[in-house]
Structures are given as C-alpha cells and as structure tokens.
Structure 1
C-alpha cells in the first residue's frame, strides 16, 4: 500500500513498494500521467494500469488499486470494485483527505495542523507499508 495525503492544493505520497513483508523499493514514483491526467496510485502496482484503463473507458477489472486523480480542474478519488465497477468521487478541495494503508495516521496529522507532506512523514512512523522518498504534486483548482 502507501499513504497519499491531500491538503491545501498539495498531494503528498511515499515511494515504498512492498511484497508481503519485504520492502522492494523506497523510491518508486506512484504518480502516473496519461493524456494529461495524473493518477497518484495506491495498492497493487500490478493493478495501476487496469485502474487507469477503466478511467478512460476500458474494461473495469476488479483490481486492488485506488488513486487520487487530478483532472478536469479538480481531484477525484477513483477505484474499481466488484459491486460498482469503475467509480470516481470528487474531493472537497478545502478539506484534507487521505487514502492508503496509512490514511488514518495522515488524516489525524492533518487535523492537528500538519501539511500533506508532514502527514505522510507521520504515517511513515506507524505504517510499515509507508516509507521512503516523499514526493508532492501541486494541484490548482479551476474557479
């Protein structure tokens, strides 16, 4: 998994990839760009492409990946599940939000005043699937 946090126009995310209890990478860039749409992904890296394909109207396999998607002047929480198929829900841009295995830690940190970057740092202290290099993406909402 991972921790992806959004606050005040910034998405922060870690670079850790794990397999079972093994750390495979600590510097993996989980932000993928397709046709100008940015996907900051969490879950199984093998399922990232399936989620992206579903976003663009492809077959929606039941996959173990979720993402914050930057598109159409906003940020969307997007996933595929067996009941709904592909779905996306808009984030309320003036509120903090987090997904991934360390999301509870990140949300609590942001509630206490932390930035998105600091929230991922805090999640790294308690969630073993969050770690490594932290990257940020600045999001500009359309008025």
Structure 2
C-alpha cells in the first residue's frame, strides 16, 4: 500500500509499491495530475484510473479499491469510491493533520507528537513494511 500524510499545507508520501507481500518498486510515482487536478492515491494501483475517471464523472461498473487526496482548485479533498453510490468526496479542514494508507496510524501518531507530514511518513517507513523508498512532498497551493 503506501502512506500519505497531510499537515500544514504539505502532502507527503512514500514511493514504495507492493503487490501482496512483495516490494515491486521503491520508485513508484504516487502523484498523478489530470486536467490540472492532482491525485495522491493509495490502494490498488490497477484501480487508480477508474477512481480518477469517476472523479470526472465516468461511472465504474467494477469495485474500485483505492482512495486518496485530491487537490482541485486549491481545495484539499479526500476521495474514494463506494460500490453502491459511486465516487464520494469530503473537503478536509486544512488546519487538521490527516493520513491515509497502510502506515496512517504511525503517521498520525507522529504528527500528533509534532512531526511534519514529511517526518510522519518517515516514521511510518520505520514500522510499516508497505511504506518505503523516498519521501516526496507537495505544497498545497493557497
């Protein structure tokens, strides 16, 4: 999976991609920009295109097993897909730290202790085998 953390206007994420219990890559891109909208996704890589398509209005017949953060027009959103209702979006309060993915509990605990989003992902890398590689950051415009 992965760890993606948000705090103080910064999204940080690792670069590890896994398949089942194996590391596929420690250089996987986790940010995709489509029509000026930035997607930071966690979950099944094979479902990322379906979630992005659903965000822009295309319905998905199959289950979509990923979720993530979206930066659209300066707004930070949490997005996912429900098999019954389709895409869902939740605008996040930019003053609250947040994290998703397999290492999210470690990242949230680190941020609760004062760590930045970047350092929170590093903390998750220490304990979560599905989080690794490099830490990449993105500053949310605004």
TM-score normalised by L of structure 2: 0.96
State the partner residue of 1:72. Answer: 73
Aligned residue pair count:
141
2:130 is equivalent to residue 122 of structure 1: no
- The runs of at least 4 aligned residues of structure 1 exceeding 4 Å deviation read none
Cα drift, residue 4 of structure 1: 0.3
Cα drift, residue 114 of structure 1: 0.2
State the partner residue of 1:18. Answer: 18
TM-score normalised by L of structure 1: 0.95
5+ residue gaps, structure 2: none
Cα drift, residue 84 of structure 1: 2.8
Does the CA contact (< 8 Å) of 1:55 and 1:86 recur in 2?
Answer: yes
Cα deviation digits, residues 18-39 of structure 1 (max 9, x gap)? 1111100001111000000000
State the partner residue of 1:113. Answer: 114
Does the CA contact (< 8 Å) of 1:11 and 1:139 recur in 2?
Answer: yes
Alpha-carbon separation, structure 2, partners of 1:14 and 1:84? 30
2:101 is equivalent to residue 100 of structure 1: yes
Alpha-carbon separation, structure 2, partners of 1:132 and 1:17? 9
Alpha-carbon separation, structure 2, partners of 1:129 and 1:34? 26
State the partner residue of 2:57. Answer: 57
Alpha-carbon separation, structure 1, partners of 2:19 and 2:141? 34
